Structure 1
Amino acid sequence: MIKEIIVVEGKDDTAAIKRAVDADTIETNGSAIGESVLRRIALANERRGIIIFTDPDHAGERIRKIVARHAPGCKHAFLPQELAEYKGDIGIENASPEAIRKALSELRTETAEVAGEVDWSDLMDAGLIVHEQAAERRLRMGKLLGIGYCNGKQFFKRCTSFRISKDEFLAALHEMDAAWEDQA
């Protein structure tokens, strides 16, 4: 059984999690998270810790930010969009048990400290911002680093708050660029 409580968006996500692992969940019931749910999440974080595992879409990112503000030091699980999509619908409920287990095995913990390892110029040099293919490059790097897809500013924040080391960043960049060249 997973020690932490997994925060998901709804009942279908809970069902998908339970098919994959033995874990307890708290459902936010979508993006209109009430104060009572946020209090339960904060209590769960204090007592057992939480893992935020929201859908890899805009609404899921919004929920992730709200929950993370109320649960400092929580863990994050990220699932690539293509592993959570079925007939145009994107959600954890569409992911296979294997994809869910993999995402839960690659948790990231947010810290209040800034690691100072990866800086803004590293993102520019890597073509992750101010580049014609920046969005696609962030998508690929986010998968390799296990921090999901987001805009440039949020990507930088995740690199620092999840303490991505310069070596880890450069290794992922090398892997991405090698795969990119193979496709060309």
Structure 2
Amino acid sequence: MKIKEMIVVEGRDDTVAIKRAVNADTIETGGSAINETVLKKIRLAQEKRGVIVLTDPDYQGERIRKIISRAVPGIKHAFITQEDGTKNGDIGVENASPATIIKALSELRTEMAESEGEISVEDMVEAGLSSGPDSKARRLKLGELLGIGYANVKQMHKRLNAFQISKEDFLRAVAAVNSEKGDRP
């Protein structure tokens, strides 16, 4: 499978994993020390070919994703789960199977400009995503089902609306989380 867009990853091992899965060019951020030179490359790539961000499903990966999102509007996002990116206690894109990478690249999300969105913080509270002993696990599963990755409450709310997840899709995913857990009506 040939990917037209440039894929932004954190390092060389991630590039190797991407190339095992698809025919694509990558831009490496050099880990969490993303600088203006790398951001210029990403801006140029977005202008010429488009950009997909596929960073590690951990704190540093999310930090890099946010920096790029603020600096380069209209980029696409691909997500892998922590489970799919973990091998021998190490978490990262480099640990994902080719099938996992292909799946992530087939479920791209494009972040839209800040908007109020359909999903409120109250909707998240009602869904048990912002308080309670299992809210983190519920957000993890919801992010997986919707293809937007794991995030804390504030970031999950922002992502749900930035990726224009409809209220209907949100409620359907919440119902699936509830049926798995068997703990909510």
> Could you say which TM-score interval applies, normalised by the shorter chain?
over 0.9
Q: Distance in 2 between matches of 1:70 and 1:50?
A: 12
Runs of at least 5 residues in structure 1 that lack an aligned partner in the other structure: none
Specify the SS of the correspondent of 1:26.
strand
Question: What residue in structure 2 maps to residue 84 of structure 1?
Answer: 85
Q: CA deviation at 1:113?
A: 4.4
Give structure 1 regions of 4+ aligned residues with deviation exceeding 3 angstroms: none
CA deviations on 1:91-112 (whole Å, 9 max, x unpaired) are: 0000000000001111110000
Is 1:28 the counterpart of 2:29? The answer is yes
Q: Distance in 1 between matches of 2:98 and 2:17?
A: 7
Runs of at least 5 residues in structure 2 that lack an aligned partner in the other structure: none
Is 1:65 the counterpart of 2:66? The answer is yes
Q: Distance in 2 between matches of 1:113 and 1:157?
A: 8
Identity %: 59
Measured on the aligned residues, the alpha-carbon RMSD in Å equals 1.1
Question: What residue in structure 2 maps to residue 176 of structure 1?
Answer: 177
Q: CA deviation at 1:116?
A: 2.0
CA deviations on 1:83-137 (whole Å, 9 max, x unpaired) are: 0111110000000000000011111100004262111111000000022211111
Q: Is the 8 Å Cα contact of residues 115 and 163 (structure 1) preserved in structure 2? A: no
Question: What residue in structure 1 maps to residue 126 of structure 2?
Answer: 125
CA deviations on 1:29-86 (whole Å, 9 max, x unpaired) are: 0011121111000110111110000000001001101111111010000100010111
Q: Distance in 1 between matches of 2:10 and 2:182?
A: 38
Q: Distance in 1 between matches of 2:116 and 2:143?
A: 18
Q: TM-score, normalised by structure 2?
A: 0.96
Is 1:150 the counterpart of 2:157? The answer is no
Is 1:161 the counterpart of 2:181? The answer is no
Is 1:46 the counterpart of 2:34? The answer is no
- Amino acid aligned to 1:140: K
